Amino acid sequence: MITKRIIPCLDVKNGRVVKGVNFEGLQDMADPVEMARWYNESGADELVFYDITASVEDRGLFTDILRQVASQIFIPLTVGGGIGTLEDFDRVLKCGADKVSVNSGAIRNPGIISAAAQKYGSQCVVLSADIKRVDGKFMLFAKGGRENTGIEALDWLAKGVQNGAGELVVNSIDTDGVKQGFDLELLDAVAARCAVPIIASGGAGCMEDFKELFLNHPAVDAGLAASIFHTRQVDIRDLKRFLRQNGVEMRI
């Protein structure tokens, strides 16, 4: 049977991994290639790289890193950050990305989803959305969660799937950083509307949070987190063993 997936997320700025980096026993604690190698050996099922730089120069640095990772690590790689055009898709796919994640780029230009799905296939197009409750409704936020777009998030995601998004990353702003568990209510609401794989993001604080996610919300396919993995607050190998012991199918 197909497994649930555990996905560490690496935010890369100026060639370095930022956000919650506190590794022990690694020579260079924020070197993305080193970290990717370590995660690969730790049993990560997939890696997500977000390019959080702005300048063109840094973008070149990011693609160099991506190429290095992809030439050494043979698990699926998803790349996001600053993706808005087919040229952006092309640039990261040529460096070895398997999937490309669009977020703000799709809000500015919704046509990018169908254009990319037609050119590269739906399996390549991941729609990532930052979502927050406003007056009891799930709203889509832009600019890293700072700006309410006024678009209802569930409609946005359902339309994205219709247009060819092959996977969804659901980031809950309400639970992000709180480490009290994933936003299960939001994830259930998305699963009720969308039949493509769903990656839960935001809120994981401990192994129990993943158990609750996968055992009681079977429509969710993967759990994504950054700092709890980077700091080894949760060790991926331990987590996968724990989940398997609790009846969740895991690749070990």
The burial of 108, by beta-carbon neighbours within 10 Å (0-12 exposed, 13-18 middle, 19 or more buried), is given as exposed
Q: Does residue 128 bind another protein (CB under 8 A)?
A: no
Q: Which of 204, 219, 215, 217 is nearest to 250 (CA)?
A: 215
Q: Does residue 162 bind another protein (CB under 8 A)?
A: no
Q: Does residue 216 bind another protein (CB under 8 A)?
A: no
Q: Is 176 a catalytic residue?
A: no
How much is the CA Rg of the chain, to the nearest whole Å? 17
CA distance 76 to 73: 9
H or E segment at 57? helix 56-72
Of 94, 108, 143, 193, the one binding another protein (CB under 8 A) is: 94
Of 37, 67, 159, 217, the one binding another protein (CB under 8 A) is: 67
Is there a contact between 210 and 200 (Cβ–Cβ < 8 Å)? no
Closest contact distance (angstroms) between CB of 70 and another protein is 6
Of 14, 71, 148, 231, the one binding another protein (CB under 8 A) is: 71
Closest contact distance (angstroms) between CB of 39 and another protein is 11
Residues 6+ positions from 94 with CB-CB distance below 8 Å? none
Q: Which two tokens stand for residue 57?
A: 């120069």
DSSP 8-state class, residue 45 = S
Contact stretch for another protein (CB under 8 A) within 29-37, 100-108, 114-122, 176-184? 114-122
Q: Is 130 a catalytic residue?
A: yes
Which residues contact another protein (rule: CB under 8 A)? 1-3, 5, 40, 45, 67, 70-72, 74-76, 93-96, 98, 120-124, 166-167, 195-197, 218-219, 221-222, 251
- For the annotated catalytic residues, the residue numbers are 11, 130
